[in-house]
Amino acid sequence: MMRHNKDTILGKIIYLTETLEGSKLEEEALNKTKTELAAICEYLGTDEITAIFFSVIFVLQNQREQPVSLHDIAEFLDYSFLYILEYRKNISSLEEMGLISMMNKKNVSPHPENNGYQINGTVMNNVIDGEPILKLERGDETTERVLGEIQEVQNYYMEGGVMDYFEYKRQILTLEKKYGRNKFIQNALKQFSNDFDSRSFLYYFSVALINGAEACAPHRRYGYCETEAFMLLAPGKRISRKKGMTIDRNDVLIINDYIKAAYLETDEYFHGKKLLNRSFKLTANGIKKLFGPEAKLYLDETKSETELDKTITALSMLSDIYESTGTSKNRKLEQLRKEEEENQELSFFKNIQSAIKNANNRFFLYDCTNDFLSGHKSSLCSTLNDLYSHDDRYFSQLRMFLDEKHPLLTQGFLEIEKNDVIEQTEIGLGDKTIDLLYGNNADLYKKTSASKNVIMPDKLKEKTLFYSDEVQQQIDMLTESFDQKKLESMQARLEQKALPKGIAVLLYGAPGTGKTETVYQLAKKTNRKVLHVDISEAKSMWFGESEKRIKKIFTDYTRLCHECKKHKENTPILLFNEADALISKRKDVSAGNCAQTENAIQNILLEELEKLEGIMIATTNLCENMDAAFERRFLFKIKYDKPSLAARTNIWLSKLPELKNHDAERLAGQFDFSGGEIDNIVRKCQMNEIIKGEKPCYDELVKMCNTERLESRQEHRMGFCGA
């Protein structure tokens, strides 16, 4: 028969437990184990009862391979369970020494009768191997440790179904009593001695601060979710502590500057921006009052709340109220007015109230602005429904938006993106709102003007153009006028004399005579960007949409001008190429909706020309059909005739340097080509050379020229509505 070695610590534990099993801890059994018990006490550094509990847990855990409860210990010793409860402090001392740990926290009280205990692996191996157990001194009762224990209780309470409010409150009060000498607890009790719920909130937010994160609400995209901290309140108090959507502004924690609203970025994206979660956090003042000398550990002195931060917070709070579903319309409007009034010292709200007198329009704008800050556009229908439900005002407002007559659109605070499905029509912020929100940094948040239609000067190839003497003189004057310093000086003088300071230029004449290329070469020489307008893109299936697109062209150009000015670049050029359809004579309105649309577009263009502050150049082939009102708006009007014989000769020689002079003169005399038509012949020559491996001879050039023009050419006018 194998016998264990009583000389080892493991042998002593085995002998002790075998002797004490069923002994009811009677004196006779204790005397038999006196020597072994003394050795175990010395090994563990505990008293006798504590050593007995450790030994019993050690044996039962190894026999059953599961945690050991107080019931298990009482049963093993055949001792009354109620008497075992008298020794709970001995169990606690084992926990504090790190010799055992509590498992299966079912009702989360410090010593529940159905909790289990186990000896951790390192301690277990030390005992088995007979090695000393590394003694760990109990840490100081630091604020972080105190709050760590409070956090553990709060977490279990907020899980639901684990403990009720009264048990939660009792345990927190017990911890406050236990750590009453801790300065943080003293400060909390001093400030809110009779307000347990406020202290409970402060513990929650302090834990979040220590953990390096604000206490954030569950994620939401639409509607409102309670901040988790509300779960710490008794069920009946959760409504009274807050009003409507958030902690009431009259709450003692807000009034005394202990907490404030905050917004955290989530890991989710929408339209390229991170979504935000609503949160609360301790203020700098709250941190100082609670943590005292330790406050410097948690204060970020480099981070102060700017006016923009305050504005964003206020907008989110307004949006929470605006989108609430459980509030009557009158109550909602009352809350919105109160919230707006409390933030009117912020410049954004001050300027909005000054510019928009209708309160409902302001509230609508605030919600759209908050959506923009959250990374997405607003649904027109659902945003209107949040304010009006589906009453008559809802439909009248919806109609005004769709007709683009709503003040928020006409004044530039909002922009609309229509959809065939009305419910999918979206609202975005206009430049005016973005300017009010971001100030000097607004350009970072606006739609960039550097789109596919903006041509950079360094992308333009330098070319030599041939003009008649008269046209060359006008182009030279234009080039000199486009010198940036001279342009700014000229515009300043025009403004002093109350004259339009924009420079509008019309280049007109036969096709292919170099009008468009002139604009590009002017831009190249004077280092200017060109916003090239594609007239066809201004057409739209929506009645009235074309007018909007023409307006947007000038909005984009104005934005581009501001960008260039900010980056100290020269004023860009707005190019309306082949603008025949825009500047032609007006039509009889009785001709139908198309005629009315074209006339409306021309009115917009005339109005924008009057307000123009930059450079606009329009090209047209049909000046004889131009409306007289436009003729007066163009400061420079340059006519392009077909190139003269000498000019055509020079063009041939510049394009095909291998040509002999007399051959170039013969081609120029035989074919009355424009520069564009000569370019076509040159392109064919290049293709011929690639295919055949040789340059075409003179006769082949003549054949190409003979096929350049169609035998009969039918001119037709380009427009929005057809002939």
Q: How far is CA 603 from the centre of its chain?
A: 38
Q: What is the DSSP letter of 422?
A: G
For residue range 117-151, list pLDDT tens digits in order: 899 888 999 999 989 988 766 556 789 889 988 99
Q: Whole-prediction pTM value?
A: 0.47
Region 156-161: what's the mean pLDDT?
77
- The alpha-carbon radius of gyration of the chain (Å, integer) is 42
Report d(CA 540, CA 344) in Å as an integer. Answer: 42
Which residue is associated with the tokens 């059953």?
Answer: 64
Give the pLDDT of residue 723.
30
Report d(CA 457, CA 530) in Å as an integer. Answer: 8
Structure tokens at 135: 């003694």
Region 451-457: what's the mean pLDDT?
81
Structure tokens at 691: 């295919």
| Pick from 3-7, 121-125, 491-495, 558-562: least confident | 3-7
CATH dotted code for 9-129 = 1.10.10.10
For residue range 202-231, list pLDDT tens digits in order: 998 898 888 875 544 333 332 233 456 667
Residue 576's φ and ψ, nearest 5 degrees, are -100, 100
Give the pLDDT of residue 245.
43
Report d(CA 189, CA 180) in Å as an integer. Answer: 9
What number of residues does the chain have? 723
Region 164-172: what's the mean pLDDT?
89
| Pick from 185-189, 208-212, 396-400, 568-572: least confident | 208-212
Give the pLDDT of residue 540.
55
Rounded to the nearest 5 degrees, what angle is found at the Cα of 307, between the Cα atoms of 301 and 311? 125
Q: Name the β-bridge partners of 269.
A: 274
Q: Sketch the domain layout of the chain as residue ranges.
A: 9-129, 142-303, 305-442, 454-640, 645-706
Region 598-614: what's the mean pLDDT?
84
E strand spans, 170-287:
215-216, 242-243, 246-247, 259-270, 273-282
Helix or strand or coil: residue 65? Answer: coil
* pLDDT tier for residue 588 given thresholds of 50, 70 and 90: low
* pLDDT tier for residue 538 given thresholds of 50, 70 and 90: low
Report d(CA 274, CA 26) in Å as an integer. Answer: 69
| Pick from 250-264, 366-380, 430-444, 705-719: least confident | 705-719
For residue range 509-520, list pLDDT tens digits in order: 888 888 899 999
537-540's contacts with Cβ under 8 Å and 24+ in sequence apart are 538/601, 538/720, 539/720
Q: How far apart are the first and last CA of the chain?
A: 117
- Is a pLDDT exceeding 90 seen at residue 184? yes
The continuous run of DSSP H or E covering 199 comes out as helix 196-210
More confident call, 581 vs 2? 581
- Is a pLDDT exceeding 50 seen at residue 541? no
Give the pLDDT of residue 4.
60
The continuous run of DSSP H or E covering 530 comes out as strand 530-533
Give the pLDDT of residue 215.
46
Q: CATH homologous superfamily for 454-640? A: P-loop containing nucleotide triphosphate hydrolases (3.40.50.300)
- Is a pLDDT exceeding 90 seen at residue 361? yes
Q: Name the β-bridge partners of 242.
A: 247
Average pLDDT, the chain: 82
Q: Where do runs of H (alpha helix) occur along 618-674? A: 628-633, 645-655, 661-670
For residue range 217-269, list pLDDT tens digits in order: 333 332 233 456 667 777 666 555 554 445 666 678 888 888 877 655 555 65
